[in-house]
Amino acid sequence: MGIRAVIFVIIGLMLGGCMEETLQPATEAGWTARDKQLMSNLPYAQAAIPEEFKRHIVEFDRKEAPGTIVVDSDNKFLYYVLPNNKAIRYGIAVGEEAEAWSGVAKVGRMEQWPAWVPTSGEQARLGPLPAFVTGGPHNPLGARGLYMYSGGKDTLYRIHGTNQPEYIGQAISSGCIRMTNEDVMDLYNRVKVGTIVVVLAPHNQTAPFTAHVAESTTTESSY
């Protein structure tokens, strides 16, 4: 293909609104000294995340206000809504369909390197598990935890990091949303307690949308 033809193809893609902008890997600018120390000695292998599940700036045509988190479990994406019909799209791993949660909640609590107390259901399904797992890169909750509350009550639904980044883009967890540790730290630095989280129902057909790429707690929590 000649240079002129290539130029016309690129212009056509730009006019069609389908050009993708992959964000650079999360920098360490917002990391704490503990983050840098723990992330320098990971007990798991770094995974090659498929391009579509890396962070992108995308066009976003839903009506949620900037600052809202929208979780699209079907397509394995989490969106952080920006002004001017844009969003940051992150790849995620989601809960298996039978255990998925959907609805509207708020971030009620935020934790760095949260501890994990497996629920009784997890003990029965995945055990035997330790009764308590300290925070750190060995912990399934990863580098950050955003705890969803509805009506003033903990939903036991979380957005958190992972020590299994190879599963990003799949449905494998116990019901919560997993992100790479780098991505969940990036998201954590953008949100605050009270942030609205909209989790679309599985196989959502009523409100479709397009997105073209243009310290520790002892609370029982699932992952």
For residue range 105-137, list pLDDT tens digits in order.
999 999 999 998 888 877 887 778 888 999 999
Question: Is 203 part of the annotated catalytic residue set?
Answer: no
Q: Which of 50-54, 188-192, 202-206 has the lowest mean pLDDT?
A: 202-206
pLDDT value of residue 223: 60
Give the count of domains, the chain.
Answer: 1
SS3 154: strand
Which of 56, 138, 176, 203 is catalytic? The answer is 176
Residue 12 in domain? no
Closest CA relative to residue 193, chosen from 149, 156, 160: 149
- pLDDT greater than 90 at residue 163: yes
pTM of the model: 0.81
pLDDT over 80 (residue 30): yes
Please check the confidence at residue 186 and state whether its pLDDT lies above 90.
Answer: yes
| Strands 196-199 and 144-150, bridge-based pairing | unpaired
- For 116, the token pair is 């994990």
CA angle 73, 79, 83 (to 5 degrees): 150
Q: Is the peptide bond before 128 cis (omega within 30 degrees of 0)?
A: yes
Question: Bridge-partner residues for 56, per DSSP?
Answer: 22, 89
Give the mean pLDDT of 138-145: 96
Residues constituting the chain: 223
Instruction: Encode pLDDT of 38-76 as tens digits.
Output: 999 999 998 999 999 999 999 999 999 999 999 999 999
Indicate whether 32 belongs to any domain. Answer: yes
Average pLDDT over residues 180-187: 96
- Active-site hit among 18, 56, 138, 160: 160
CA atoms of 154 and 38, how far apart (whole Å): 28
In 3D, which of 175, 182, 137 has the Cα closest to residue 27?
182
Is residue 204 predicted with pLDDT exceeding 50? yes
The answer, yes or no, to whether residue 28 has pLDDT greater than 70, is yes
| In a domain? residue 210 | no
Q: Answer yes or no: is 214 within a domain.
A: no
* Three-point CA angle 139, 108, 97, nearest 5°: 60
* Separation of alpha carbons 93 and 48, rounded Å: 14
Mean pLDDT across 28-39: 92
**pLDDT of 219:** 38
Task: Please say if the pLDDT value at position 15 is more than 70.
Answer: no
Q: How high is the pLDDT of residue 74?
A: 92
Residue 4 has pLDDT above 60, yes or no: no
Q: At 100, which CATH number?
A: 2.40.440.10
pLDDT above 50 (res 146): yes
- Rounded CA gap, 136 and 34, in Å? 10
Active site residue 18: no
Domain contains 108: yes
Q: Residue 63: which domain range?
A: 23-199
Token readout for 5 is 């033809």
The structure tokens listed for 112 are: 């760095």
Closest CA to 196 of 143, 149, 145: 149
Q: Which pLDDT value is given to residue 14?
A: 37
Q: Is residue 213 part of a domain?
A: no
Phi, psi of 88 (to 5 degrees): -90, 125
In a domain, 104, yes or no: yes
In-domain check, residue 31: yes
Whether residue 147 contacts residue 111, with contact meaning beta carbons closer than 8 Å, is answered with yes
